Amino acid sequence: FDISGLLPYNMMTTLSQTKELFRRADAVCFDVDSTVIKEEGIDELAKFCGVGDAVTEMTRKAMGGSMTFKTALTERLSIIRCSREQVNKLITDHPPQLTPGIRELVDRLHQRNIKVFLISGGFRCIVEHVATQLNIPLHHIYANRLKFYFNGEYAGFDESQPTAESGGKGKVISMLKEQYGFKTVKCIEASSAFIGFGGNVVRQQVKERSSWYVTSFGELLKELEKI
């Protein structure tokens, strides 16, 4: 997801400006995979369904930009073809692992009345589990919805969700600004962001493009202490 187009380039130049904007943010949006949680949800689901290698390879291609996000998602899910039962069992048997420090950071943001949102190209059923652990309201989640037939078999995904598109995260942030009247929304993620997160996976491209690159949530907590 590329949200860099939301601010003019000169507004995202200096580290001190980015830190200042983070401290003054009305809302903070987190990516989920490899950021709020340690793993990539779709890869974990694929492994659980016995098609891990094929899907990991396709994830790598998707991140390299050789296909649109929606195409990559469609193709990966057509390999996985998970049932509702498999998804529920994955969440029960292998719940997503929270990244150290995220709970404390979200608590601190909530204490300061900063709204927290989870915006993910992953699956709502997994993200809801994460949100519940972090006391983030479920209506603050934007993610893709898996669809199942009445017998629980895989039936596709909801293609109308903005998170199913390349650049969908940017659309969600614009929508949030409009809906809530937020002036400053900061996004923290491992793929492409104003604040890049490398605590679980280091992506050189993110490191180069982020105005502020952190490898632990403690660095963000420390910044909030300056208010």
69-80 helix and 41-48 helix, angle to the nearest 10 degrees: 20
Q: Which of 26, 31, 53, 93 is catalytic?
A: 31
Partners of 37 in beta bridges: 98
Indicate the domain borders of the chain. Answer: 17-39+95-225
Topology annotation, domain 17-39+95-225: Rossmann fold (3.40.50)
Residue 222's contacts (CB-CB under 8 Å, 6 or more residues apart) are: none
Q: What predicted TM-score, i.e. pTM, was given to this entire model? A: 0.89
Give 165-212 pLDDT, tens digit per residue: 988 888 999 999 999 999 888 888 766 557 889 989 888 888 888 888
d(CA 38, CA 64): 20
Give 99-117 pLDDT, tens digit per residue: 999 999 999 999 999 999 9
Residues in the chain: 227
d(CA 126, CA 29): 17
Copy the structure tokens of residue 178: 């409009």
d(CA 98, CA 83): 24
Tell me if residue 2 is catalytic. no
Q: Which of 33, 43, 107, 158 is catalytic?
A: 33
Tell me if residue 31 is catalytic. yes
